[in-house]
Amino acid sequence: MTAINGARSRSKIYGWIDPSLNFSSSTNSNAPEANDVYSNRFELNQFVLYAERLPDSVQRDHVDWGYHLTGLYGTDYRYTTGKGYGSSQLLKDHHQYGFDPTLEYVDIYIPQVADGMNLRFGRFISVPGIEAQLAPNNYIFSHSLLYAIDPFTDTGLMATVKLNDQWLVQGGITGGHDVALWAQDAEPSGTGCLSYTTNSVNDNFYVCANGINHAKYAYNNVQQYDVTWYHKFSKTVHMATESWYMYEREVPAIGGTIAPELGANPAYCLPGKQRCTAPEYAAVNFLQKELSAHNFISFRTDFLDDKKGQRTGYPTRYSENTIMWCHWWGTTVQLRPELRFERAWDHKAYDNGRAQNQVTAASDLIFHF
């Protein structure tokens, strides 16, 4: 890869292989835990190839451009699949392994707008949040419950404008969450975000209204309102906190006469109701301590209230606590063992409805190339 990328071209090709192993108190499924949904298994979570050209956004002289392409194969395709992007392999055929063209977008950087504006068009990661779909972009191998049920990718146009060193604004229009523009469920949806960084650079606050439209029931058509706060305590200790509220309207009732859409869960509505609004509330906190140049530990605590069970299949409150150690060998191999405990407080929601508690010991090993 060094030889390939050593050319004078600004286009680069790289990626990683990410196998994982988990041991779980559940025997049938770890859901709603992500991404190690298959219990007591060795899996290939991600085999990813990137091709990209980054726009030069640290200059004010000229308009520049870039692009990004991502191909993902593995069990994690189920967490990136968008309806219309080869989604039948998951929604109809329920394949354990699959391929997803996770990201395809073009960037145009225009320095003459404010302190710089980037226009992104294509399929990109849903903008709010601490966690992301691609393995190296996360503190911890497994994902929070908050992340496991929120939007993954959007397709459309997003503008990011730097007003000054403290303020940044974003605005865009997409076809809705996790759907291609040509999919039946695509709806014009607005996103607006505001980011503020303190002069000390010890704190950043990021608020977003994401994928806002009529909110009627469709494939992953959640209306998301998200707040993220990053705080640096010292050179070696920092924290990231996120909270969101999401909902959909007119969700079909479980046991009612209205059939749910393929890949979109029904909800536990009040008796006699054929449809209802299904809300969810969640919060997560990550605390990181750098031990050395090649080691850090992370502790995560997470809360989710799936009020009507529309996102997880069970109307219950969840809590989750995970501790992880990350170790780097050189610059290419990354090990992330973790211990995780979670609980469903109101119903048996783990191991396909057989247990209220779940304990997992797991690790992934990322080979960067």
- The H or E element spanning position 205 is strand 203-212
Q: Closest Cα to residue 32, out of 287, 302, 286?
A: 302
Find tokens 């992330």 and name the residue. 336
**CATH topology assigned to domain 2-368:** Porin (2.40.160)
Q: Which amino acid is at 31?
A: A
- What pLDDT, on the 0 to 100 scale, is given for residue 47? 98
Return d(Cα 147, Cα 35) in angstroms, integer.
Answer: 10
Say which DSSP state 182 is in: T
Return d(Cα 32, Cα 309) in angstroms, integer.
Answer: 11
- What pLDDT, on the 0 to 100 scale, is given for residue 7? 66
Q: Are strands 42-53 and 203-212 parallel, antiparallel or unpaired?
A: unpaired
Radius of gyration of the chain (CA): 21
Name beta bridge partners: 207: 194, 227
Q: What is the pLDDT along the chain (369 residues), one digit of tens a residue?
A: 777 777 677 999 999 999 999 999 999 999 999 999 999 999 999 999 999 999 999 999 999 999 999 999 999 999 999 999 999 999 999 999 999 999 999 999 999 999 999 999 999 999 999 999 999 999 999 999 999 999 999 999 999 999 999 999 999 999 999 999 999 999 999 999 999 999 999 999 999 999 999 999 999 999 999 999 999 999 999 999 999 999 999 999 999 999 999 999 999 999 999 999 999 999 999 999 999 999 999 999 999 999 999 999 999 999 999 999 999 999 999 999 999 999 999 999 999 999 999 999 999 999 999
Chain centroid offset of residue 132 CA: 4
- Collapsing DSSP to helix, strand or coil, 4 comes out as helix
Q: Which amino acid is at 311?
A: R
Find out whether the peptide bond into 35 is cis, omega within 30 degrees of 0. Answer: yes
Q: What is the pTM of this model?
A: 0.94
Q: How many CB atoms lie within 10 A of CB 220?
A: 21
